Amino acid sequence: MPRAPWSLPDLTGRTYLITGSNKGLGYFSAEHLARAGAHVVMTGRHPNRLAAARAALHRRNPDVAFDQVESLLLDTSNLGSVRAAAATAKVRGALDGLLLNAGIVHPPEHRETTVDGHEVVFATNVLGHFALAGELLPILAAASGRMVWLGSMSTSMWPYNPVDPQLVDGYSAWRAYVQSKIATTALGLEADRRLREAGVPVRSVVAHPGYSTSGRTAGIAGVNEPTKLTRFTDNLQAVITQSKEDGALPLVQALAGDGVEGGSFWGPRFVATGAPRAAKPSRITRSREIGERLWTAAEEATGVHWPFAAAANGVPEPD
C-alpha cells in the first residue's frame, strides 16, 4: 500500500535532535520519528520531565527499542546550556536533522530577561536556536541534513516588524510571541539563502503546526495533562483545531519527509488543520532586509558566527 502524502519514509539509521521534546509538539515529533525507525535525541530543561517523556514514549510505543531514544539536557534560554549541549551532541556522532521546536507559547505579562541579559521570549524561541544551529552546522553538513525552524500562522495576522526584537520598549506578551515567530521564520529563510550561497549541503526549512491544542490531544501522564476546563474550551473550537500529535506532522515532514526543498515552508493543508503541505510564508518573513537585520542581531546577541566555509569543505570545528 502506498504511503499517505504526509507519512515518513523508513528512517532507520538516521538521527534527529529535537529541542523541547518533553511535551507538546516536540514530544509528538519524537514519537513520529521513532515510529519510523529514527534514532531520536529528546532534549529539555528539566531532567525529571525529560525522563518522564522518554518513559511515556516507550510505554506508548513498545516496538521502539530502548536505545533508539536518548535524552540531553538543553535550555535554549541559556547560551551556556546551548554550548554545553552542542558540545555533547557533536561528540555523540552524526546528525541528520535538527528540529528547533522549544519555545515559550504563553509569555510573561511583563518583560523578563535571562541570565545572559536577553528578553526571555526572544532568547528562548530565537537566540538559543540560532546559536544551536550554528554550533551543530558542521555535523549537519556531514550528513547533508536539515534544520527546521518552528513558525506560526500568527505571523500572517500580526505582521510586526521586529525593529526592536528584544522589545526594550513597548513590550507586550502577545507582541513578544509574534515577533519571535516572525524572527524564527525570517531567520530560517535567511539561513537557507546563506547555506546555498556558501555551498553547504544543509537544507533550512520552516514549519508551523496550525492551531494545535492540548485539550484535543490524548492525555499522557507527565506529558499532556489538560484540565477539564481546557478540554471543554478546546473542544468548543473543534472545527478549527487539531491535536498536538497532528500538529507535529508538518514539522516531521519538513524534517525527514520526501520532497522537501530548502527554503520551503510547511503547514497543515487548511492552515489551522489538516495533513502537511508546502505553503507560502507571510510576506514580512520573506523580506531579505529583515532576514539580514535579524541575522546580524542574532550574531551580536549570541556571539555565534556560523562556520559556513568549514561546513562547506567538511572541516571539523576546532576543539
Higher pLDDT, 318 or 263: 263
Is the confidence at residue 4, as pLDDT, over 60?
no
Q: How far is CA 52 from CA 70, 222, 223, 277, in A?
A: 12, 6, 7, 32
pLDDT in tens, 190-231: 999 999 999 999 999 999 998 887 767 677 777 777 677 777
3-state secondary structure of 214: helix
Q: pLDDT grade, residue 294 (50/70/90)?
A: very high
Model confidence pLDDT, tens digit, residues 109-153: 999 999 999 999 999 999 999 999 999 999 999 999 999 999 999
- The verdict on whether 160 is a catalytic residue reads no
Rounded to 5 degrees, φ, ψ at 231 are -55, -45
Decide: 298 and 123 in contact? Cβ < 8 Å: no
Alpha carbon separation from 15 to 44, 74, 150, 228, 300 (Å, rounded)? 17, 17, 19, 37, 30
Residue 166: Cβ-neighbour burial (10 angstroms; 0-12, 13-18, 19+): buried
Which position among 160, 171, 177, 211 bears the catalytic label? 177
Q: Using pLDDT thresholds of 50, 70 and 90, give the confidence band for residue 1.
A: very low
pLDDT at 293: 97
74, 81 Cβ separation under 8 angstroms: yes
pLDDT at 318 over 60: no
Q: Which residue has the cell 553547504?
A: 200
pLDDT, one tens digit per residue, over 23-77 is 999 999 999 999 999 999 999 999 999 999 999 999 999 999 999 999 999 999 9
Q: Which of 75-84, 154-163, 166-175, 308-317 has the lowest mean pLDDT?
A: 308-317
Place of cell 505553503: 279
pTM: 0.94
Model confidence over 233-250: pLDDT tens digits? 767 676 777 888 999 999
